[in-house]
Amino acid sequence: MSKLKSVLMKHRRYLGPAALVLAVAAIFWVVNSPDIVGVSAASKELPIYSVQRDNKAVSLTFDAAWGNEDTQTLIDTLTKYGVKATFFLVGQWADKYPESVKALADAGMEIGSHSDTHPHMAKLSEKQIIDEVSLCSGKIEAITGGKVELFRCPYGEYNDQVITTVRNMGIQPIQWDVDSLDWKDLSADDIYKRVTSRVTDGSIILFHNAAKHTPEALGGIIEYLLKEGYDIVPVSELLLTGEYDIDNTGRMTPRA
């Protein structure tokens, strides 16, 4: 379309002002019309970044891919405040630390898949995507006896094929709208400030189970959220039931 527009502009003296305006307007209409197949850009498939809620509810989520030094400390802190969080586990991590997988389940934490080998999912074929998700889910389910219904892409990377494939498996892909950046070894105070300054109704907050200062920051963050009147719930309880839409920011909204 850009080439066509360039040609029209190049030959504008032959078209005349009125014809040129009409031609450019026609190009704009064609490019932006959602009803013209093959011309309009397809809507992008998005995971859920946040959720539109009628009440003040948020979810704390933790990705577990490498270390395991702090998992039990995180469980203890969450349990102290009566909070249930969602942990996204890599299959190979579950292989190394099955006792921690069971400890998470026994503590009532929700467990989702974070792939089996932590690859760049957007570079995989459909079959490879299915294998990564299902292998990880199978390992978790074998340990916990529960069904895995959530998935988070490693590195937060995805494309339309990844999201469509995962949803076709009956699993909901979950992203986040508040990133603690704890993996950058921020201080506990900086983690606290990042999260508390960005959280809003329906937020999904990202942490990591082996980040250096997350255990130190977590208690204060929970206290802040509770003081501000937030309900802290697992992701599955944050999600809407019934028909929904996902807007261009990845926010899950009830269908009007």
Residue 176 confidence (pLDDT): 98
Residues 6+ apart with CB under 8 A from 144: 101, 102, 104, 105, 111
Taking the CA atoms of 97, 102, 103 and 105 in sequence, report the sign of the dihedral they define: positive
Residue 23 confidence (pLDDT): 43
Q: Which of 114, 208, 231, 247 is catalytic?
A: 208
In terms of Cβ atoms closer than 10 Å to its own Cβ (0-12, 13-18, 19+), residue 125 is: exposed
* CATH numbers and ranges of domains, the chain: 2-32 (no CATH), 50-254 (3.20.20.370)
CA angle centred on 134, ends 128 and 137, rounded to 5°: 140
- Report the alpha-carbon distance of residue 165 to residue 147 in Å, rounded: 18
Tokens of 152: 């988070």
Residues 6+ apart with CB under 8 A from 201: 52, 53, 55, 56, 57, 58
Question: Per-residue confidence of the chain (256 residues) as pLDDT tens digits?
Answer: 443 344 344 444 444 554 444 443 443 333 333 332 322 234 799 999 999 998 999 999 999 999 999 999 999 999 999 999 999 999 999 999 999 999 999 999 999 999 999 999 999 999 999 999 999 999 999 999 999 999 999 999 999 999 999 999 999 999 999 999 999 999 999 999 999 999 999 999 999 999 999 999 999 999 999 999 999 999 999 999 999 999 999 999 999 8
- Report the alpha-carbon distance of residue 102 to residue 77 in Å, rounded: 17
- Report the alpha-carbon distance of residue 41 to residue 106 in Å, rounded: 46
Residue 27 confidence (pLDDT): 37
Q: 120 catalytic, yes or no?
A: no
Rounded alpha-carbon distances, angstroms, from residue 68 to 97, 165, 213? 8, 30, 14
Residues 6+ apart with CB under 8 A from 41: none
3 state SS of 1: coil
Q: Which of 11, 63, 76, 189 is catalytic?
A: 63
Compute the residue count for the chain. Answer: 256
* Nearest residue to 88 (alpha-carbon basis) of 120, 58, 110, 121: 110
CA 129 to the chain's CA centroid: 16
For residue 22, how many other CB atoms are within 10 A of its CB? 12
Residue 256 confidence (pLDDT): 85
CA 89 to the chain's CA centroid: 14
Q: 54 catalytic, yes or no?
A: no
- Report the alpha-carbon distance of residue 107 to residue 109 in Å, rounded: 6
